[in-house]
Chains A and B, each alone.
Chain A
């Protein structure tokens, strides 16, 4: 399983005002609560991107938040706090995915098979996201981390490479491989395959110009 290298450079793009923005907190807020207000948006965004429909989402978010608030004092350059937090969150999620892969490999859960479409008429959005996440789970972790950024955040190649701590070329290779796997798996999913085909092939029309 390829490992995602630790980013060396600051991996979070932030505006100059980010580290000095005003935060609204209660009067009795403790120092850790103040730090929380600064780091929470970064963590929330990252957790939501990768774990929006995950049952462990809230616990993972709390784990990351507690870890970064505890460790915030170790960041030498205050303006790099958000970059550091993004890195911690990214790596934590990455490690979680790796751990799950290992557990799945060791257990029989991976044998679960076909999942029929939900009976509800319009859980489409949630179902769509949940099914996509399930397919993403099948990708190798390094590819999943990169491809999720492209698919769900529309991130540029440079940004993906920076976030994953690899070269542009490696990022491109991972994205290509992930995309091929994803397309193959999407076609096996009854809901995604249908939705995927809908806009491309209207009745009685060629699917491509």
Chain B
């Protein structure tokens, strides 16, 4: 692979193995499906005449269905014309704040609401087999059972605030959906997307909402309602290592949702309490910040990790990662220092060779040819076919 090898090596490292969280999710999904369909396993062989008869029947039914229009109910909702929330037969409700309007289409298996402008709130009763889709401009929100509000306004500004349950939001700029859970607040406009997390403290008043306080307490799993003005999410929860006590941002991090994890960290004010975090949590926070786009926070977390827990396994790799983040920020001097410390303190670390390669680059970039050459020789001695071999060879070959 020669010249492709540096890229390939980096890709392999970034790709890694299938994350455990993803495999767990797949397992849970499979089990759920299997338990629901266990009676149908294994598939039985069906006699050909049954298939033929079924086909004929299906054709006849489809012809009949074609001539009988499906029961689709379509109506326009305008806030000023509504006396209260619109209720559906399954108990779900839709409310509009003043100025809001949109088109509601209900079918047996689906409910669609096209929000034209303003804010609408939805209280969707879970467990009914109806797919809910809310569209606001080019954005789309899919729902199972939850309570949330959607705003669509001037300049295609778009907001979703989730009070209960989970919703998936699809915006035109992204291929994948953004999943929001209780307390999440998404704000978007063309080209911009921001998710913040407000700690759950009981649902905020939503126009036309039908939920009662008992229902809210039941949903939150607590009989005692949360105080109306609660503090930011408790920092100590982030310090715990037990999976059961892992904070929301850590769970998002474990799912690979770094930007969301980072948004939760910011919303909770956790960054001001880094000194209270365990080595594992600091390493995770540094990773979330590094991959979520906040290198400054990554540097702070990694520096603290190395200073407070120098012998922790995470701190060993932390020195290398610190160098990478500095290099990303364009602070070559700090990157060199961090990489040098890593090689000095962890001479048999798993990133040592990679570090040598990066140091070679940095030395040669700042014109320190002698040190670059010396490292290049070391590099070629250990890994003559490594990803930085071409650079190393160019450095050790005497200039003509």
Q: Does B230 contact A (CB under 8 A)?
A: no
A-B contact count (CB 8 A): 138
A113 to chain B, nearest CB (A): 16
By the criterion CB–CB under 8 Å, are B390 and A192 in contact? Answer: no
The interface-forming segment of A10-18, A95-103, A195-203 is A195-203
- A73 & B42 in contact (Cβ 8 Å cutoff): yes
| Residue numbers in B under 8 Å from A179 (CB-CB) | 4
* CB–CB B17/A48 < 8 A: yes
In contact, A55 and B175 (Cβ under 8 angstroms) = yes
A52 lies within 8 A of B364 (CB): no
The interface residues of chain B lying within 8 Å CB-to-CB of A205 are: 364, 391, 394-395
Q: With A and B bound together, what is the CA distance between A179 and B126 in angstroms? A: 50
Given contacts A121-B328, A123-B293, contact A36 B30 (CB under 8 A): yes
In this complex, what residue of A is CB-closest to B387? A199
Tell me if A65 counts as interface (CB < 8 A to partner B). Answer: yes
B contact patch SS: helix
Collect the chain A residues with CB atoms within 8 Å of residue B325's CB: 122
Question: Which B residues lie within 8 Å of A204 (CB)?
Answer: 364, 367
A55 to B391, CA, bound (A): 37
Residues of B within 8 A of A62 (CB): 26, 29-30, 33
Q: How large is the interface on B (under 10, 10 to 19, 20 to 34, 35 or more residues)?
A: 35 or more
- Tell me the chain A residues, 160-192 only, with Cβ under 8 Å from chain B: 179, 182-183, 186, 192
Q: How large is the interface on A (under 10, 10 to 19, 20 to 34, 35 or more residues)?
A: 35 or more
Question: Of residues 111 to 133 in A, which have CB atoms within 8 Å of B's CB atoms?
Answer: 120-126, 128-129, 132
Give Cα distance in the complex from A202 to B11, angstroms: 21
How would residues 76 to 92 of chain A score, 1 for a CB under 8 Å from any chain B CB and 0 otherwise? 00000000000000000
Supply 17 further A-B pairs (C-beta < 8 A) apart from A36-B27, A44-B26, A125-B291.
A30-B34, A33-B34, A40-B26, A44-B18, A45-B17, A121-B329, A123-B293, A125-B10, A129-B14, A151-B4, A152-B8, A154-B12, A182-B4, A195-B7, A195-B10, A199-B388, A202-B391
Could you jot down 25 A-B contacts, CB within 8 Å? A30-B35, A30-B38, A32-B38, A33-B34, A40-B30, A44-B18, A48-B17, A58-B22, A61-B26, A62-B26, A62-B33, A69-B34, A120-B292, A121-B293, A122-B291, A124-B328, A151-B4, A196-B6, A199-B387, A199-B388, A200-B390, A202-B365, A205-B394, A207-B390, A207-B394
